[in-house]
Amino acid sequence: MTNRQKQHLLGYLGLYSAEVDGIWGPRSVRATREFQDCYMEQTDGIFGAETEKRILEVISTGEKPRESFWEQIRYFAREEFRCTCGGRGCDGFPAEPSEQLIRNAEAARVHFGNVADVSSGVRCGLRNAELPGSAANSLHLRGKAMDFRIRGVSADTLCSYVRTLPGVDEAYAIDSQFVHMGVGKYERGNEK
Ligand SMILES: [Zn+2]
Ligand SMILES: [Zn+2]
């Protein structure tokens, strides 16, 4: 399958609205990731043989996309996790925020019953490198970490709670209010 054909099929499903030019840029990768998110277990954004087979199957059967986990999330929006490089290093979502991470954030928000603020979600390499003290292999790069606070809750209290949540591998206070939470540190590839 050529890149043009891939873009055309992604466009047919309403996932790709840019020009069908055969140039495989960030928008093609993002559309592929969105397709995978709706119909596959893998979410690497790579349009390989498996994705090709699956997209033909979806189009020929008219299969509906599965519901995004975001529809069950009340207190956070995907936009809050956008990379803050301002478009200099990525299109905002070089990786998708991890479902486990968001479900944990939601749990913390519900547990403490107060407003949450996200100061950093997904990061591209450029943004990550700019931020002081960030690890070169930071989980933020894979959508598996976030920095946030719950208003009126100290970082220590929030941190202690975060450590009880599923899949948490990193939990530490950034300052008196904000906490870094990272999940799924040792998973690679097919994780969500
Ligand atoms: Zn970025
Ligand atoms: Zn962090």
Q: Note whether 123 and 137 are within 8 A (CB).
A: no
Distance (Å) from CA 103 to ligand 2 centroid: 17
Distance (Å) from CA 64 to ligand 1 centroid: 31
Q: Tens digit of pLDDT for each residue in 148-185?
A: 999 999 999 999 999 999 999 999 999 999 999 999 98
Q: Tens digit of pLDDT for each residue in 8-34?
A: 999 999 999 999 999 999 999 999 999
Q: 69-183 adopts what CATH topology?
A: Muramoyl-pentapeptide Carboxypeptidase; domain 2 (3.30.1380)
Distance (Å) from CA 15 to ligand 2 centroid: 30
Q: Tens digit of pLDDT for each residue in 106-147?
A: 999 999 999 999 999 999 999 999 998 889 999 999 999 999
Name the pTM for this structure.
0.74
Residue 42 burial (10 A CB sphere; 0-12, 13-18, 19+): middle
Distance (Å) from CA 128 to ligand 1 centroid: 8
- The phi and psi torsions of 182 (rounded to 5 degrees) equal -130, 140
Q: Quickly list H helices, 14-124.
A: 26-39, 49-61, 99-112
For the chain, the structural domain boundaries read: 3-61, 69-183
